Structure 1
Amino acid sequence: MKEPKVHVGILFEPQIEFVLLNTYLIDGTEISGKQVVTYDEGKILWNGRRYEELLFEPRHEQTDAFELLDVTIGINFHWERKEDQRFLGALKIIVENGKLTGINVIRVEDYLTSVISSEMSATASLELLKAHAVISRSWLLAQIQKNKEITETHADYSAFTQTEEELIRWYDREDHTRFDVCADDHCQRYQGITRASTDIVKQAIAATRGQVLTSDGKICDARFSKCCGGAFEEFQYCWEDIKYPYLAKQRDYRTENGKADNGTLPDLTREVEADRWIRTSPKAFCNTTDKKILSQVLNNYDQETTDFYRWKVEYTQDELSKLIKERSGIDYGQIIDLIPVARGTSARLWKLKIVGSQRTLTIGKELEIRRTLSPSHLYSSAFVVDKEDISPEGIPGRFILTGAGWGHGVGLCQIGAAVMGEQGYKYDAILLHYYIGANIDKLYE
């Protein structure tokens, strides 16, 4: 197998401005400098002419670069902002959903060099960076393969079910049909060569070149999140109802003999156990406040968040009822209760009943819950609810959400893996802690 190329959706705007920093080719014609393309009557308007699609190809693939202006990063998160970003490889412009989409076409290993630098600090330990290189490569190639299967078989990956009593949906990268992955946290954070890659990142990519995680002869869908909160979540509680053996229940801790400490992991699908787990601070790899370790995993804007292993959010009645209406588009009236219905193996809720004075509805899965209960995204759906200042009519005046972890908790826990790296674990041991029973195989040289 040759090293594949990946199509990464970067920018989705009615007008895209970019600068070709070197000489690029389009239909054999050389071009460079600042360019502007505009959506116009279902086509791309560029230099006075309309096109169905444009492809600007570098003359020298390893060194030629272009700059996209005003790229939005952190879409719908609390750190959302715009910045100019630089990329190696080719730039494709297509028409999609009444806008233009800017796509970077780049070799997988070059893509990964950026992903590791974008997802994590380049000061991370070599073993952590190697582990992340393998999972990022695995996840990417698994998604490309899955997309190919969907296209060829017309498989139905429906992510939405609704009845009068329930609204259950999940969000995955099947949202993208005209490119492989997007550049934001929805897929993998990718910011080209905007953030310089250090020698240690390049070393980690080179040392693991072509390596992927596999299970039963297939590339693993190697998910990862910032902080599992002490226990791993299983895939089916966050996305479609598929149980992967390598994304299984386990505590994020190992005993002195190196074995996973599952003996002390309670059944967090049970409400009484979940409540106790979330309100305490059990020992785990990711239970750390070590700034040196955290700085390896968290970029500057991620460090704006300081509480992630255990956290609290408080809302008044007015704040919560208004927030839920704005975020869901459903008017529940005053919020009477938030009732846990179903939890996964890390205590993350995948079904939550919202009881209002006008409407009652059970929602899920975990990301839908997080989006509904926060102006951006709640840190995780592993939380318990306390109600205060309850009126004679039974209407709470205040809700307190006490929670655990940051993100969906499936697969590798970045903060836990950083701690393992500092404690001397090699990258393969880190990987096989988070992806249970998986293998590490080399796809291409």
Structure 2
Amino acid sequence: MHKIPTIDVGIMSADQIQFCFNDLFQLSNGPKEMEGEQVVRIENGMLKLEAAGIAASELLFTPLDAENAAFELKDVIIGVNFHWEQKENQQFKGALKLIIENEKITAINVLPLESYLISVISSEMSANSSLELLKAHAIISRSWLIAQIEKQEQLTETTAKYESTFISESEYIKWYDREDHVNFHVCADDHCQRYQGVTRAHNPNVVRAVNETSGVILSYDGKVCDARFSKSCGGIAELFENCWEPVHHPYLTAVVDNPQLPAGFEQDLTIEKNAEKWIAAEPEAFCNTHDEVVLKQVLNDYDWSAKDFYRWTVEYSQAELSDLIRRRSGIDFGDILDLIPVQRGTSGRLVRLKIVGTKRTVTVGKELEIRRWLSESHLYSSAFLVEKVQGENDLPEKFVLKGAGWGHGAGLCQIGAAVMGHKGYKYDEILTHYFKNASLEKRY
């Protein structure tokens, strides 16, 4: 058995950081025990701690009473680049580390992995989620996290540069995973897992779910699973390699989010006509629900505006779309003539989309980059059909995107899992539905 790992979580980055200790904290590279309001800024390439008159390249503050002490960070941005982006003050247990990164100060929370999980699941899930859903979520979050820690160690050891962007005259292919975090394991926003410390009250059911599954992970062939989750798969799950690096994980498969494939549909959504029929309809699926009792288990207040996640529609005029793509991509396509599906994944999500303009034609991928180019924040998903309304001068005057699902669609579907828990499925049944041939294993 291993001991409980410690996790480094990147919380925020700013030119100046204000924070407050509610109890005594020990500064590792100074004699001082500190409490109360503090300010750190960069001065002459060093971190300047105003109250103590200390300048250092790194500051580490450890609580003397780990059980009760906490620190508050001011003006933390949550929902970075999402429609509900906002600032709030957040409280954290554990240690606070401050470093200089990209000429800004980065605040890192250092704490035991199990404590982090309680907060993450309280942040990700509603207080009234079913215990079975919470247990399933605890196990996939723990698995994903340990997989990221192991992956970071491997990346640190290798001398080869990790590449996630491939650009040519005709293609722009990019994926976003957590490899760009080199000074901490994970960030605190949706890019990794939503984490807000002890700012929001810890739900007793979450504490119970984490404690009752403590140390339990999903494994495949003796290795911890890189377990992923998103809000809604849209009826069929996506493959890992269609969202991130070109690596196939046998436990992340094209799961039909239903006891069987709904009648009248073909499962292979990589074929365009099958994807068109699937996305245009609303096939039965665990995640095809309008039950507010279930939805409120998964959707927090700031997500609640989004109720059309299973099937949705977005419309752009020619002027709106050409301006949006130019700003979001940094490429001037001129007027947009067409959006052409080039490659779809197993869920119908576009992996590559050809954008044809009067000035440029470029194929963009993978799924998140497509979503970024076609929205002010992030399009719900890249599983969409394109309808054009022709105008004058052979130019389309309007583009209508009809889409399916919310998020990347790989791994556990949160809304589908909530429905399964509501229907009486146990946490291990939920996990084996979404992660085929994976096993439950107690690591510590």
Q: TM-score normalized by structure 2?
A: 0.97
CA contact (8 A) 2:143 2:225 kept: yes
Alpha-carbon contact 1:20-1:65 (below 8 Å) kept: yes
Measure, in 1, the Cα distance between the counterparts of 2:196 and 2:277. 40
Report the 3-state secondary structure (helix = DSSP H, G, I; strand = E; otherwise coil) of the residue aligned with 1:433.
Answer: helix
1:42 paired with 2:45, answer yes
- Range with bigger deviation, 336-345 or 25-34: 25-34
Any idea what SS the aligned residue of 2:142 has?
A: helix
SS of 1:338 mapped into structure 2: strand
- Pair 1:175-2:180 in alignment: yes
Q: Report the counterpart of residue 30 of structure 1 in structure 2.
A: 33
- Given that 1:250 and 1:262 are in contact with CA atoms closer than 8 Å, whether structure 2 keeps it comes out as no
Name the SS for the 1:304 alignment partner: coil
* Correspondence for 1:305: 306
Question: How do residues 232-247 of structure 1 correspond to structure 2 at under 5 angstroms?
Answer: 232-247=237-252
- Of 31-40 and 150-159, deviating more is 150-159
Q: Secondary structure at the match of 1:397?
A: strand
Aligned twin of 1:273? 274
SS of aligned partner of 1:37: strand
Paired residue for 1:250?
A: 255
1:290 matched to which residue of 2?
Answer: 291
- In structure 1, C-alpha distance between the alignment counterparts of 2:138 and 2:157, rounded to whole Å: 29
> Partners in 1 of 2:262 and 2:441 — Cα distance?
27
Q: Does structure 1 residue 77 correspond to structure 2 residue 97?
A: no
Q: Structure 1 residues 43 and 322 mapped into 2: Cα distance closer, same or farther (>3 Å)?
A: same
Cα shift at 1:262: 10
The whole-number CA distance in structure 2 between the counterparts of 1:118 and 1:263 is 39
Query: In structure 2, how many angstroms separate the alpha carbons of the residues matched to 1:431 and 1:187?
Result: 20
How far apart in 1 are the matches of 2:106 and 2:394?
50
Query: What letter is aligned with 1:46?
Result: L
The amino acid of 1:24's aligned partner reads F
Runs of 4+ residues over 4 Å off in structure 1: 260-265
Aligned AA (1:425): Y
What is the aligned partner in structure 2 of residue 401 from structure 1? 401
**Match in the other structure for 2:106:** 101
Kept in 1: contact 2:9–2:184 (CA 8 A): yes
SS at match of 2:396: coil
**Residues 251 and 262 in structure 1, CA contact (< 8 A), matched pair in contact too:** no
**Is 1:230 matched up with 2:231?**
no
Aligned counterparts, 1:103-118, within 5 A: 103-118=108-123
Which one-letter code corresponds to 2:423 in the other structure?
Q
Map of 2:126 onto structure 1:
121
Q: How do 1:113-152 residues align onto structure 2 when only pairs under 5 Å count?
A: 113-152=118-157
Match in the other structure for 1:210: 215
For the pair 1:367 / 2:372, whether they are aligned, the reply is no
Q: 8 Å contact 1:92–1:105 — kept in the other structure?
A: yes
* Residue in structure 1 matched with residue 359 of structure 2 by the alignment: 358
Matches within 5 A, 1:12-31: 12-27=13-28, 28-31=31-34
In the alignment, is the contact (CA less than 8 A) between 1:24 and 1:58 conserved in 2? yes
| Residue aligned with 2:118, SS | helix
Structure 1 residue 389: Cα displacement: 3.3
Among 195, 202, 218, which residue is 2:200 paired with? 195
Q: Is this contact kept in 2: 1:67–1:85, CA < 8 A?
A: yes
Distance 2:391 2:70 in 1: 60
Return the offset for 1:29. Answer: 2.4
Task: Give me the whole-angstrom Cα distance separating, in 2, the residues matched to 1:226 and 1:58.
Answer: 36
Q: 1:239 to 1:263 in 2, by over 3 A?
A: farther
Q: Is the 8 A contact 2:219 2:441 kept in 1?
A: yes
The aligned amino acid for 1:416 is G
Amino acid at match of 2:10: G
| Structure 2: distance between partners of 1:130 and 1:29 | 42
1:333 correspondence with 2:338: no
Deviation per CA, 1:113-162, whole angstroms, max 9, x where unpaired? 00000011021000000000000000001000000001112344310111
Give CA-to-partner distance per residue, 1:223-271, whole Å, 9 cap, x none: 100000000000000111111000011210115xxxx879955210011
**1:256-297 alpha-carbon deviations (Å, 9 max, x no partner):** xxxx87995521001111111101000000000000100000
Q: 1:420 to 1:165 in 2, by over 3 A?
A: same
Classify the secondary structure of the residue corresponding to 1:416: helix
Give the Cα separation in 2 of the matches to 1:49 and 1:282.
62
Q: Give distance in 2, aligned partners of 1:46 and 1:427.
A: 47
Residue in 2 that maps onto 1:344: 345
How far the C-alpha of 1:305 sits from its partner, in A, is 1.3
1:7 and 2:8 matched:
yes
* Range with greater deviation from structure 2 (308-317 or 23-32): 23-32
Distance in 2 (CA, whole Å) between partners of 1:324 and 1:163 is 18
1:341-390, Cα deviation, whole Å (9 max, x unpaired): 00000000010000000000000000000000000000000000001133
Q: State the 1:49 CA deviation.
A: 3.2
CA distance in 2, matches of 1:424, 1:306: 24
C-alpha deviations, 1:294-327, integer Å up to 9, x for none? Answer: 0000110010212100000000000000000000
Number of aligned residue pairs: give it: 439
**Structure 1 length normalisation: TM-score?**
0.97
Q: 1:301 aligns to what SS in structure 2?
A: helix
Please give the root-mean-square deviation of Cα atoms over the aligned residues, in Å.
Answer: 1.2
- Are the structure 2 counterparts of residues 323 and 153 from structure 1 closer, same or farther at C-alpha, using a change threshold of 3 Å? same
Quote the sequence identity (%).
Answer: 58
Distance 1:322 1:95 in 2: 36
Take 1:261 and 1:40, find their aligned partners in 2: how far apart are those partners? 63
Aligned counterparts of 2:160 and 2:434: Cα–Cα separation in 1? 29
Task: Decide whether the 8 Å contact of 2:70 with 2:92 is kept in 1.
Answer: yes
Gaps of 5+ in 1: none
